[in-house]
Amino acid sequence: MRLLIVNPNTSRGVTDHIREAADAAAQPGDAFTTLCPDYGPELIVSHEDAAEAKRAVVDTVRGYCAPCDGIVLASFGNTGAEEVRALRRDIPVMGIATAAFCAARALGGRFGIVTFGKGLVSGLRAKVEEAAMADALLGIAHVEGDQFGDPGTVQRRYHDELADLCAQMHARGAASIVMGGGPLAGLAPKLAKTCPVPIIDGTQAAVNLMRTVVV
């Protein structure tokens, strides 16, 4: 399976996390190419960020000429999904929010989201509602504050707080937990060691789901 995986923000550190998460889900014969745009926001928070990132994602996909069987958009805004589908009607295009929520639905029960800043909560909630999963959402827990700094380092800086939030979400009754945000790619397997319920990594969920739709 050949996938183009696009990080819609320009953080090289986040792109590295996404690449590592995707590669960890690879099977023999897979070939993944993970890219980020040449321009745009380092982290997508505002509507303005999302609009610029959408243009950058489309330009990145348009400029990629190698054969691929599918495209993964590695932001929880599913940034540019509609536009990329219009550009590449021949292959499946999937955002990591869509994939993560599909995994939560398949696991059943109520699920929680854990993320790294209060400013991300409204956008995450909007994606839950868009996926018609609001009734299954137990809640969204976040690290206090909105001083993101380098998005490529948030999972290292907030590791302990994110682990605590997962434990609290489990204690509230979550049957599964979604890690909310592309910068958290690859963290779920590490946190899973101390959490009794499944923690869903959107990038890995997208890679696995792609296997069911790639022709």
Tell which residue, 212, 18, 25, 214, has the closest CA to residue 102: 212
CATH match for 2-95+204-213 among 3.40.50.12500, 3.40.50.720, 3.40.640.10, 1.10.3720.10: 3.40.50.12500
Long-range contacts of 58-61 (CB under 8 A, 24+ apart): 58/83, 58/84, 58/87, 60/6, 60/35, 60/36, 61/4, 61/6, 61/87, 61/88
Domain extent listing, the chain: 2-95+204-213, 97-202
Give me the residue label for tokens 């495209």.
71
The pLDDT tens digits for 38-70 are 999 888 888 899 899 999 999 999 999 999 999
The pTM score is 0.93
The reply to whether CATH 3.40.50.12500 applies to domain 97-202 is yes
pLDDT, mean of residues 66-84: 94
The reply to whether 2-95+204-213 and 97-202 are identical in fold is yes
pLDDT, mean of residues 102-125: 94
pLDDT at residue 201 is higher than 90: yes
The pLDDT tens digits for 167-185 are 999 999 999 999 999 999 9
Q: What is the pLDDT of residue 144?
A: 87
Question: Residue 96: pLDDT band by 50, 70, 90 thresholds?
Answer: very high
CB 104 within 8 A of CB 178: yes
Q: What is the pLDDT of residue 107?
A: 96
pLDDT at residue 215 is higher than 80: no
